[in-house]
Amino acid sequence: MRFGDQRESTNVEDRRGMGGRGIAIGGGGIGVVIISIVIYLCGGGDIRQLLDSLTGGGTTQVEQQQPQQPNQPGKPGISKDEQEKFARLVLGSTEDAWRVALPQQARRQYRAPRLVLFSGQVSSACGYASAASGPFYCPGDQKLYLDFDFFQELAREFKAPGDFAQAYVIAHEVGHHVQNLLGTMARAGNSNDGSVRLELQADCYAGVWANSAQKRGQLEVGDLEEGLRAAAAVGDDAIQKRTQGYVVPESFTHGSAKQRAEWFTRGFQSGDMRQCETFK
């Protein structure tokens, strides 16, 4: 990504190094603890063909030509100041997008969430969480929580590096904040089906953000391949195949790689959150 003259958000709280009790969040509202990655589609190629190739495990030409990104904020060696600056830039980009989209498309004013940076474990209104929980949004305090070590895991374990992948993680959690503002999270229920619909809608809302970011010149060549590779790696079906060798669709909580890509695509191509009605 390239941020140009993008302003930095002031809604970032740095708690790294403060420590806390290492008790993982459990039993909270659906969508509170999210390990959600990237599904990003743009450009003029054949989207479905590329998706099928990636979700089927094939190697595409775009994968072979993935550009190097030496200054990814989740990499070891990147300073805390650089990490915080990246977080502020991404959050600022989401704020600029939703301050326009939400009043226009939902007749609601946007109240920006705060992003809490932490290391190891953190306390929130939803309880205590360890870094193993992954990035999450807590509706109780309207804050996003992020440990930058997650981005190293994203690249190492999920084979999904890249600054756009990292920005998408933040944008997805902001999508949950939008759901909270609209009352969607409270209405979703506690079933796996409700969880999947929340996650897919947050993917679609992240696509709405990406549409705005593209119009402001913040996206660049390589984001497509970066996002599709991550989507293929972290869909429920892909994770289950890798960890247990078979797929149980009834246990899905986030959606398949293809579903997530399709809903992100819908948000990105339309730029319209009204196209994100996963509950219908």
pLDDT digits 0-9 by tens, 153-176: 878 887 778 888 889 889 999 999
199, 175, 1, 168: which is closest to 101 by C-alpha?
175
User: How far, in Å, CA of 165 to CA of 4, rounded?
Assistant: 18
Residue 89: predicted pLDDT: 97
DSSP, res 207: H
Of the pLDDT bands very low, low, confident and very high (cuts 50, 70, 90), residue 22 is very low
- Residue 230 confidence (pLDDT): 67
pLDDT tens sequence across 90-142: 999 999 999 999 999 999 999 999 999 999 999 999 999 998 888 999 999 99
Task: Indicate the pLDDT class of residue 24, thresholds 50, 70 and 90.
Answer: very low
The answer to whether the CB of 101 falls within 8 A of the CB of 208 is: yes
Q: What 3-state class would DSSP assign to 128?
A: strand
Handedness of CA 216, 220, 224, 229 (dihedral sign): negative
- Kindly report the pTM of this predicted structure: 0.80
Helix ranges (DSSP H) in the chain = 47-55, 61-64, 80-106, 149-156, 163-182, 184-187, 192-215, 223-234, 236-244, 257-270
The pLDDT score that the predictor gives to residue 84 is: 95
39: which 2 tokens? 């599904």
pLDDT per residue over 184-195, tens digit each? 999 888 899 999
Of all residues in the chain, what percent carry a pLDDT higher than 70? Answer: 76
Q: What's the mean per-residue pLDDT of the chain?
A: 80
Residue tagged 């109240």 (tokens): 111
